[in-house]
Amino acid sequence: MKSSWDRRIARANELLQNNAAVSELLKFYQRLARFQKSIYETIAASDEHDVAALVPYFCGLLALIQESGSPVLKQAAADFAATSAEDRLDLLTALWQHEVESQELSPEHEFFARALLQPFAEYLAEKTETATEASPPLCPFCGSRPQVAVLRPEGDGAKRFLLCSLCATEWLFRRVLCPNCAEENKDKLPIFMAREFDYVRVDACDTCHTYIKSIDLSKNGNAVPVVDELATLSLNLWAQENNYHKLQRNLFGV
Contact 125, 141 (CB under 8 A): yes
CB of 197 to Zn ion, least distance (A): 23
If the CB atoms of residues 16 and 204 are measured against Zn ion, the closer one turns out to be 204
Question: Using CB under 5 A, which of the segments 3-11, 47-55, 69-77, 174-182 binds Zn ion?
Answer: 174-182
If the CB atoms of residues 62 and 212 are measured against Zn ion, the closer one turns out to be 212
Number of residues that bind Zn ion (CB under 5 A): 15
Rounded to whole angstroms, the Cα distance separating 48 from 55 reads 13
With residue 10 as reference, give the H or E element that holds it.
helix 4-17
CB of 132 to Zn ion, least distance (A): 11
CB of 8 to Zn ion, least distance (A): 17
Q: Is 118 helix (H, G, I), strand (E, B) or coil?
A: helix
Query: Of residues 181, 193, 233, 254, which one binds Zn ion by CB under 5 A?
Result: 181
Does 178 bind Zn ion (CB under 5 A)? Our answer is yes
CB of 208 to Zn ion, least distance (A): 3
Contact 101, 249 (CB under 8 A): no
Does 177 bind Zn ion (CB under 5 A)? Our answer is no
Question: Using CB under 5 A, which of the segments 81-89, 193-201, 203-211, 242-250 binds Zn ion?
Answer: 203-211
Footprint (CB under 5 A) of Zn ion, residues 81-140:
139
Q: Residues 234, 236, 242, CA angle at the centre, nearest 5°?
A: 105
Non-local (6+) Cβ contacts of 214 within 8 A are 148, 149, 150, 151, 160, 200, 201, 202, 203
Q: Which of 140, 113, 115, 145 is nearest to 129 (CA)?
A: 140
Query: Of residues 108, 183, 203, 228, which one binds Zn ion by CB under 5 A?
Result: 183
Residue type, 36: Q
CA 36 to the chain's CA centroid: 13
If the CB atoms of residues 28 and 141 are measured against Zn ion, the closer one turns out to be 141
Q: What are phi and psi of 227, to 5 degrees?
A: -80, -45
Query: Of residues 118, 147, 180, 248, which one binds Zn ion by CB under 5 A?
Result: 180
CB of 246 to Zn ion, least distance (A): 12
Does 205 bind Zn ion (CB under 5 A)? Our answer is yes
Footprint (CB under 5 A) of Zn ion, residues 133-172:
139, 141-142, 144, 164, 166-167, 169
Q: Give 50-117 as a DSSP string.
A: -GGGGGGGHHHHHHHHHHHS-HHHHHHHHHHTT--HHHHHHHHHHHHTT-S-GGGS-HHHHHHHHHHH
- Per CB under 5 A, residues contacting Zn ion are 139, 141-142, 144, 164, 166-167, 169, 178, 180-181, 183, 205, 207-208
